Structures are given as structure tokens and as C-alpha cells.
A and B are shown apart, each in its own frame.
Chain A
Amino acid sequence: MTAEPYDRFASRAADFGVEVTRTSVEDASTTIETLVEEPVVGAPLPWADVTLPEGVPTDPTPTELDEAVTGVTAAAFAIADYGSIALRATPAGTEPVSLFPDRHVAVLREEDVLPDMAAAFDRLGETFRATSGSAVLATGPSATADMGELVKGAHGPKAVDVVVVR
């Protein structure tokens, strides 16, 4: 993976108001921690070498989900051209954890930054045919202009941070 897709991703994500932080495997947990505002809930990260910081509880109750300010999840991949991240629907609750709290912190592996939409759908097609899975391509925070001007956080997060682990 060259630096190019990462730069493109970071710049496009910034267009949508997303803060992108690049970090190493060693520093990942600390980086995530600095972005978390309590109360926090999480969905476990699917990697052996990068895990949620201690103190980020998983398996939230509905009340915890409702009260959480931050939700931490993994992103399956990103699309550089659009600054989008793909969040898989998992039994551990990636979807609700990334959706209910006002701030979403997504953790992404740099090798999972795909260049464009065509590459993204190639990957999704393969995965969905194999697993019958679901995912959401999320780009920036939740937004609406229905009340007369653009407002962030219509039903979902008002702010999104992406931690990219090299």
C-alpha cells in the first residue's frame, strides 16, 4: 500500500468534517483513548494486535447505548475517493454502537483503504455472496437539511473520528 490512498482518504474525509488520525499498532490504543469522551461503549475490534482501550465496555445494554457519548467500532475498509468508511453489521453490535452515541470513533487498518467505489463494490460483492453480510458506507456525520439549513447529528453521530492504524 502506497501512501497515496491514505492521503486521498484523509483529505476527502476532511471534506465531510471527519477527523483522521494516523497511528502505529503500538500507539493505537492510546490514540483511541484520547478521542473517547465518556461514557463510552464499544464493539470489539477484529484484530489480534489492535484492541479497544481498557475501560471501553462492549456488549452494552440499551440504556448504556442511549447514554453513551462515544461509540468505538472497527471499520472494515475505507474508500479513498469518497472519504467513506464501511461498517459491517456484526452480532457484537457495530451498527448500534456506531449509530446511537453523538461521537463515533472508527478504527481502520491502513491496508484496508481502497482507492475507489469500484474496488469497494468488488469487495462487497465477494463478501456478501460468501456471508450474506450487511454493511453501511458512512461518509461524515449524520446530517439533515430538512429544517431549513444543514444540521449535523439528525439521528446519528454529530462527529466522526477515524483512527488509521499503519
Chain B
Amino acid sequence: MSSKGHEAKAARIRELLETEGEAVAANTRGFNTGRYESVAKLDDYQRLRQEAREIKEDAIERLPELLEELTEAVEANGGTVYVAEDAADANRYVAEVCEDRDAERLVKSKSMTSEEIEVNDHLESRGVDVVETDLGEWVLQVADESPSHIVAPAIHKSREGIADLFNERFQPDEPLETAEELTMFAREQLLERIKGADVGMTGANFLTADTGTMALVTSEGNARKTVTVPDTHIAVAGVEKIVPSVEDLQPFVELIGRSGTGQDITSYISLLTPPVESPTVDFDDPETPITDGPSDREFHLVLIDNGRLAMREDDTLRETLYCIRCSACSNTCANFQSVGGHAFGGETYSGGIATGWEAGVEGLDTAAEFNDLCTGCSRCVEACPVKIDIPWINTVVRDRINRSGDPGQFDFLVDGLTPDAESGGGPDLQKRLFGNFETLAKLGSTFAPLSNWVANAGPVKGLLERTVGVDRRREFPAFQRETLVEWFEDRDSLVPADPERKAVFYPDVYTNHMLVERGKAAVRTLEALGAEVVVPRAPGAGRAPLSQGMIATTRSKAERVADALGPYVEDGYDVVVLEPSDLAMFREDYEHLLPEAEYELLAEHSYEVVEYVYGLVANGADADALASVDGPASVAYHSHCQQRTMGLAEHTVAVLEERGYDVTTSDVECCGMAGSFGYKEQYYDLSMDVGENLGEQFRALDVDHVVASGTSCTDQLEDLLGDPPRHPVELLAPDGGD
């Protein structure tokens, strides 16, 4: 992307932060808090997720067979199934049904699939009056806007905004003001339209192959009226919505509301085996009992391929088809919470999983418009009820986008600095610079402190912003002349005679070149607890190139890391990692990059540094060998997003509390920096908007110590609070004197 492109993107994000940010933030954060509370009530939450995952894996595997079974079931019930190749095919069929039924009006309940095929426009161009009956969708239809959220489409609109819209458009006798007034007004308006409807259209959250039953997850009751009142029902659904049997619906029904809007269950789960037995309600014949005479019901199930069957054949995009559109990945995403789906979304879908959908349905160009907003923080992985590895999908699509691009005009500037393994068009200059951070860090240490003066000098920052898009408002981290590895090599060996454990401390790029003190503290802490520690030279873990979608480069780093650390593990050493994002590489991402045996060896023997301290103390090491705390001391702790996803924040809290600290943890999903994200010119404002939530909380705490586990969290907190936080291990380490 060019500098102009960066500026345009930054301007668009600033505009959305101003106009929609407040409403989106309040709603998504409310949903997200509700999710935590609601899933906590389930004793068997993880088992339900596993079950749901397995049902989806099996269903997508057997999709052709289930499609056939479903078709037979629907037809045996008296309905019709049409499998549409693409949006145009689906729209043509729907228009034909409307024409056959002489339909003048079609009422709809909320359906993202119908948004995907843009059926409203198609029908309206053929003279059918299409009315959205979901209140949120209707607001958008009146306002002529698009959904900003897949479940709550008008999440970006405030009550005041809706009141202004309705008062202007409908000129009611008394101006509408409260949510109650607005809702009742919409209910009346929509009831009149439903009464005169000829066709009802719904989506389908799930379809069961055994019975031809569809499940609709709703709260308002409009879907029930849409199905019941008119005699013709058209359901549009992606082919991936099929599950084998009615019983398979159970885990999804228990998970979908909790995961999305934080409701244990939504008001209505309609389980319809159409044509339904309920009588139609014919308001054109208002004085005849509805039960008089047989109802002449017609049902059309329009199953939409539109790229899905090709996604099924794609090893990465296939997982997208497990998505149940609950919106957990939107609500838990720090960036989404700030900008919403109008920035973090494509043609139809929004949020974390949208990259997969848009890449599969629309193509890479559409996915490229917002894919960078996923920072890979991984908070959504834990929130997803079907355990989709959303960051990995986003990384692979980013890699594909990189390869489809043209080499940029400034690439020669960084050629020597970017010894990456990327081929094809290659990532843009900005991505290459950040993806090759390890090389920069090596040079930075070699030429420190000169490199620090140069990097933060005005002219250089200006050049970096214009050419590469590094935001000039960010201070560069200071490189240290002596790296952690050099310090360790120059120091007297402290191998205990009979060590409890042998630990190889992984010198990640940031700890080795920049935040060296926290590395020294880690070494001293482990040694104080009786472990033998070595700090070998080792390559970067590959987090930087992976975050830029440079998978080939990352793989080569992963292989070199495995070569460097593997022999230690085989020799009985535990791998201790300080940077949580690198530990997440070893434990999670390397699964995609290394042969299984090598991945498992590293993953099973790697520990986060304070997790390891916790383990040593739990196994009898004397915690009193650590730094003592004089009197009551308070700590504000911001764990790292990936550390939290791995379930490792609790260890740090436990160890600090054991040492006598009064610990308060941050309640945000992410600090907003997320590696290089916050350094990028086009995302600086968004990054600071996200970070402000953390800044606000910590400023209000007024504690003795602020600590953070990750490097980028440390950078962000320094920018937010003015002072750099320390790593928790620095509060634990005994004085070294070295």
C-alpha cells in the first residue's frame, strides 16, 4: 500500500472511530462480557465446544452425502430444494418463485446469506416489495445502510440516531424518543407489512439432514410471523449449514446465544420441518377462522454454494465452513470493538472470521481490504464455540494476498535488510520491514547507541513514515549494545552441582537486543530456584514475519529454531520462553510449520517463564530465594493476549500474590499494539483508541508497579502511561550485581 493509501485508510478509520466507535464499543463489549458470564455457568462448556467442533468436522467431510439426504427429506415432507451455484443463480430462482406466487410483497427475517446474495436488490428490481422485519435490519433498510455486525446489524446506531431517523422519515404525531416507543412503533409498522405479505423469507442457522428440519435462532418473533403468516416460505442457506441429525443441534443451541450476545439462550429457537402444520393467517380474509380448510403451504429451500464447495477443498479455508455466525470473534476482538464491521468487514461478513468468508465467497481482493485488522492476538480462538483457528486462516490469506501483489517501488531500500524467503509478488514494503525485524534488531545492537539516535531522529522518522508507513508518533525501542546472549557468555558459569532442572532460556529477539534487563532477571530467577540455565544463540521464532503473512520466511525460522533448541530438549532441558507471542509460536503455530515430531517435542517442553517459576516452586524450590517484598505493594498486571489464550496469565498472578503483591489484572482483550500493528501509520489511531481502555484502567489504579508480559504491551503501556512497565519476572529476580 502506498503512503497515500495509508493516509486514506487512517482517515477512514478515524471517521468511523468518531461516528460509530462509541455505539459499537458499548455494544460489543457488553456482548463480550455477557459471553464470559454466560459460558461460565456451563459445567461442560469445553465438552460442548468439542462436540460442536466434531459435528461440524464430520458434516463438512460428508457434505455431499448429507446434501443428498437433506434433499430427500425435504422433498418427502413436500418441500422443494434448489442448490444454487452462485448468487445470480439463487436470485433467479427466488424471483421465479415470487413470480409463480404472484407475490407483491416478500417479508424477511434476518439472514446474512440473503445479504451475501443481495436478494433484496434483485427482487426490488423486479417489482417485489421487500421488507426486512428484524428491527435492526429494518432500521438499516430505512436508513439505507449496511450491517456493521453479523448478529446485531445496527449496532453502530445509537437510540438517538434511530429516533432522528424514524421521526424524520415517518413524521409520527408525537416524536419518538425511548427505546420502548421506537420498538412499539416499528412493531406496528412491520405487522401491517407482514399482514399483506405473500412470501416469507428466512435464513437457517442449521439444517438437519435426517428430517429436513431447520433451526432459526431469534429473539424478536419476526421470523415466527414471517414463516407462519404467508403461505409461501423461502429459506436461503449456505450449503455448510447442514448437520446430520436433530440431536446434533443440541450443543449449538446451547452455545450460540452464549457465544454471541451473551444470552444463555435466545427467546426463540424455531425448529421447523416445513411445510409447517400451523395454519396460515390470511389477513385478506380476516373473518374466516384460520383453521378453516387446509393451508396450501409451499416451501422452497435454496441452498447456496457461492464458493463454499471450493472452500471445502481448500485446506485452510475449509475450517471457515464450521463457523456458526455467532459473532464471538467480533465481540472479543479489540480492534472490532473500536471500529466495528464497517471497517473490519468485507462485502457481507465482518469480524475475525470474515477474512475466511470473504476470501472464499468474494475473493482475495475483498479480503485484502480489511485482513490487516486481525493482529493475530488469538483472543477469538478461545471465544469461538467451534474452536476455529481464525488467526491462522487470516495469516494464510494474508500470505496469499502478499503473493498476489506487485513488488513495490521502494523495495530496494530494504532489500539488504529483508533476507526473507518470500516469492511471488511478495509482501509490500511495510510488511517486509516489520517481517524482517530480527535483521534490524541485529544491526540495531551492533550500532547502538548510534542506531537509536538515528532511528528516532526527525528526518529518519519522516522518511520511514513516507516510504514504509511507520508512524512518526511512535518512539522506536532502544537497542542495547550488549545482547543478552553476549552478557550470558561473558559471565562466570553458575551451574549448580546437582541442578533440580535444566533450562534453556530462549533469547527472543526483543529480550536479546532491546529489553535485555528482563532477560537477565529471568536467568537470575531460574538460577535462584536451583535450575541450571543456558542461553544459547538462537534465531528469531518467526512471530514478526508470521504477523505479516510471510509464511515461507516463518517456516525457515521455525526449522532453524527447532535445530537450535531440539538438541537441548533431547538432552533433558526445558525450554523457557519469556515473550508470550514466541511461546505461542512454539505451542500453536509451529504445528502448521514443522514436521509433527519436531513440533510436538518443542511444544511439550516449552514453558512461559513465570509458568516455569510457578512449577519450580510447586515442586519444592524455595521461593524465599527470590526478591523479598517489603510491606504491602500493589501491582497492575497486563498479561499478553496470546498468554491469556494459552491459559498462562493465572500463573503470573499466583506467583506475584504468593510473593505478597496485591495484584489487579487488566480487563481488556488486547493492549492494541499487537506487535507491529500500532507502529503502522494507517493503524496508529485505532491502536491508541484500543489502548486507551487499558490506559484508563491503569491510570485509575495508582499502583506501585505496572508489569506486562509482552514486548508490544510494554511499548504500548509506555506510550499510554509515560513510564515503561517491567516484566513480572523483574519483580521476582533476586539482585544480581552483574
Question: Residues of A with Cβ closer than 8 Å to B?
Answer: 58-63, 65-66, 82, 84, 89-96, 99-100, 117-118, 120-122, 124-125, 128-129, 132-151, 153-157
Question: Would you list which residues of chain B between 202 and 259 have a CB under 8 Å from chain A?
Answer: 208, 210-213, 219-222, 224-225, 228-229, 245-247, 249-250, 253-254
Whether the Cβ atoms of B220 and A121 lie closer than 8 Å is no
Q: Are A129 and B228 interface neighbours, CB within 8 A?
A: no
Whether B645 is near chain A, meaning CB under 8 Å from some CB there, is no
Find out whether the CB atom of B286 lies under 8 angstroms from the CB atom of A62: yes
A112 to chain B, nearest CB (A): 17
- Are the C-beta atoms of A134 and B213 separated by less than 8 Å? yes
User: Taking the nearest CB of chain B, how far is it from the CB of A108, in angstroms?
Assistant: 17
Distance between Cα atoms of A122 and B289 in the complex (Å): 35
> Are B273 and A147 in touch, CB under 8 angstroms?
no
B281 to chain A: which residues have CB within 8 Å? 62, 65, 96, 100
Q: In the complex, what distance in Å separates the CA atom of A139 from the CA atom of B270?
A: 11
19 contacts between A and B (CB under 8 A): A59-B292, A62-B285, A62-B286, A84-B265, A89-B276, A89-B277, A93-B278, A99-B221, A99-B224, A100-B225, A128-B213, A137-B268, A148-B162, A155-B133, A155-B222, A155-B225, A156-B220, A156-B224, A156-B268
Contact A90 B278 (CB under 8 A): yes
Which A residues are CB-close (under 8 A) to B77?
Answer: 132
CB distance from A117 to the nearest CB of B (A): 5
Among residues of B, the one whose C-beta sits closest to the C-beta of A154 is: B220
| B274 within 8 Å of A (CB atoms) | yes
Q: Which listed residue, B152, B154, B180, B229, touches A151 by the CB 8 Å rule?
A: B180
B724 CB to nearest A CB, Å: 41
CB <8 Å contact, A146 and B136: yes
CB pair A59–B246 under 8 Å, yes or no, is no
Docked complex Cα distance between A129 and B77 (Å): 11
Q: Which chain A residues border B4 with CB–CB below 8 Å?
A: none
A118–B254 alpha-carbon span in the complex (Å) = 10
A140 x B159 contact (CB < 8 A):
no
Is the C-beta of B305 less than 8 angstroms from some C-beta in chain A? Answer: no
A135 (CB) vs chain B CBs: closest residue: B271
Cβ of B158 < 8 Å from any Cβ of A? yes
Shortest CB–CB separation between residue A64 and chain B, in angstroms? 8
Q: Decide: A137 near B269, CB < 8 A? Known: A61-B289, A151-B180.
A: yes
Q: Does A154 lie within 8 Å of B183, measured CB to CB?
A: yes
Please give the distance in Å from B255's CB to the nearest CB on chain A.
10
The answer to whether B179 touches A148, judged by C-beta atoms less than 8 angstroms apart, is: yes
Q: List chain B residues, Cβ under 8 A from A96.
A: 228-229, 278-279, 281, 290
Q: Are B224 and A95 in contact (CB under 8 A)?
A: yes
Taken together as a complex, chains A and B put the C-alpha atoms of A132 and B267 apart, in Å, by 23
Q: In the complex, what residues of B have CB within 8 A of residue A132's CB?
A: 76-77, 211-212, 273
Q: Does B283 contact A (CB under 8 A)?
A: yes
B12 beta carbon closer than 8 Å to chain A: no
Could you tell me the distance between the alpha carbons of A58 and B290 in the complex, rounded to whole angstroms? 10
A122/B247 contact (C-beta < 8 A), A136-B224, A139-B265 known: yes
What CA separation (Å) do A129 and B245 show in the bound complex?
A: 10
Please indicate the chain B residues that have their CB under 8 angstroms from the CB of A137 in the complex.
253, 265, 268-269, 271
Contact between B162 and A117, CB atoms less than 8 A apart: no
- B residues whose Cβ falls under 8 Å from a Cβ of A: 76-77, 133-136, 139, 152, 154, 158-160, 162, 179-180, 182-184, 186-187, 190-191, 195, 208, 210-213, 219-222, 224-225, 228-229, 245-247, 249-250, 253-254, 261, 264-274, 276-279, 281-283, 285-292
Residues of A within 8 A of B273 (CB): 128, 132-134
Residues of B within 8 A of A61 (CB): 286-290
Q: Please name the residue on chain B nearest to A141 by beta carbon.
A: B267
With A132-B212, A151-B180 given, is the CB distance from A82 to B228 under 8 Å?
A: no
Closest to B223 in A: A155
Interface pair A89/B272, CB less than 8 Å apart? yes
Point out the residues of chain A lying under 8 angstroms from B160, CB to CB.
148
B162 engages A147 (CB within 8 Å):
yes
Quick one: given A125-B246, A156-B224, are A151 and B291 in contact (CB under 8 Å)?
no
Residues of chain A with a CB closer than 8 A to B139's CB? 146-147
Compute how far the CA of A60 lies from the CA of B261 in the bound complex, rounded to whole angstroms.
36
- Indicate the member of B152, B253, B267 with the most A CB atoms within 10 Å: B267
Residues of A within 8 A of B269 (CB): 84, 136-137
Say how far B714's CB is from chain A's closest CB, in angstroms.
38
A128 to chain B, nearest CB (A): 4
B221 touches A147 (CB 8 A): no
Residue pair A146, B221 in contact (C-beta under 8 Å) = no
How far does the alpha carbon of A90 sit from the alpha carbon of B278 in the complex, in Å? 5
CA distance A92 to B282 in the complex (A): 15
Bound together, the chains give a CA A136 to CA B266 distance in angstroms of 11
State A91–B297 Cα separation when bound (angstroms): 12
Verify B250–A121 contact, CB threshold 8 A: yes
Q: Which of B179, B250, B271 contacts A136 (CB 8 A)?
A: B271
The 3 closest A-B pairs by CB, nearest first: A148-B159, A156-B221, A154-B220
Partner of A82, one of B134, B264, B279, B282: B264
Task: Determine whether the beta carbon of A142 is less than 8 Å from that of B274.
Answer: no
Known: A121-B247, A154-B220, A155-B187. A129 touches B267 (CB 8 A): no
Q: Which residues does chain B contribute within 8 Å of A63, judged by CB atoms?
A: 286-287
- Pair B225/A99 contact, Cβ less than 8 Å: yes
Question: Chain A contacts of B253 at CB under 8 A?
Answer: 117, 121, 137
- Residues in chain B near residue A65, CB distance under 8 A: 281, 290
Count chain A CB atoms within 10 A of each CB in B136, B279, B286, B292 and give the residue with the most: B279
- Chain A residues near B266 (CB, 8 Å)? 139
CA A153 to CA B76, docked complex, whole Å: 36
By the criterion CB–CB under 8 Å, are A153 and B213 in contact? no
Q: In chain A, what residue has the closest Cβ to B211? A: A128
B-chain residues with CB within 8 Å of residue A141 when the two chains form the complex: 267
Contact A95 B159 (CB under 8 A): no
Q: Are A146 and B152 in contact (CB under 8 A)?
A: yes
Closest B residue to A136 by beta carbon equals B270
Residue in chain B with minimal CB distance to A140 = B267
The complex places the Cα of A92 from the Cα of B292 at a distance, in Å, of 10
Q: Tell me the bound Cα distance from A82 to B257 in angstroms.
A: 12
Known: A61-B287, A91-B291, A147-B162. 20 other contacts (CB 8 A): A59-B289, A60-B289, A62-B283, A66-B283, A89-B276, A90-B278, A92-B279, A95-B228, A99-B221, A128-B213, A134-B213, A134-B271, A136-B271, A139-B268, A142-B267, A146-B134, A146-B136, A147-B183, A155-B224, A156-B224
Name the contact of B282 in the complex, choosing from A60, A62, A145, A150 (C-beta under 8 A). A62
For residue A144, which residues in chain B have a CB less than 8 angstroms away from its CB? 135-136, 183, 219-220
Which residues of chain A are near B268, meaning CB under 8 Å?
Answer: 136-139, 142, 156
A156 to B276, CA, bound (A): 19
User: B135 to nearest A CB, angstroms?
Assistant: 4
Chain A residue nearest to B282 in the complex (CB): A62
Other-chain contact of B246, A129, A139, A145 (Cβ < 8 Å):
A129
Give complex CA distance A75, B135 in Å. Answer: 27
Q: Kindly provide the distance from the CB of B699 to the nearest chain A CB, expressed in whole angstroms.
A: 29
Residues of B within 8 A of A134 (CB): 213, 270-274, 276-278
Residue picked from A91, A135, A146, A154, most chain B C-beta under 10 Å: A146
Residue of A nearest to B284 (CB): A62
Q: B270 to chain A: which residues have CB within 8 Å? A: 134, 136
A120 to B268, CA, bound (A): 15
**Alpha-carbon distance A99/B158, docked complex (angstroms):** 28
A150 CB → nearest B CB, Å = 8
Q: Is the CB of B210 within 8 A of A129?
A: yes
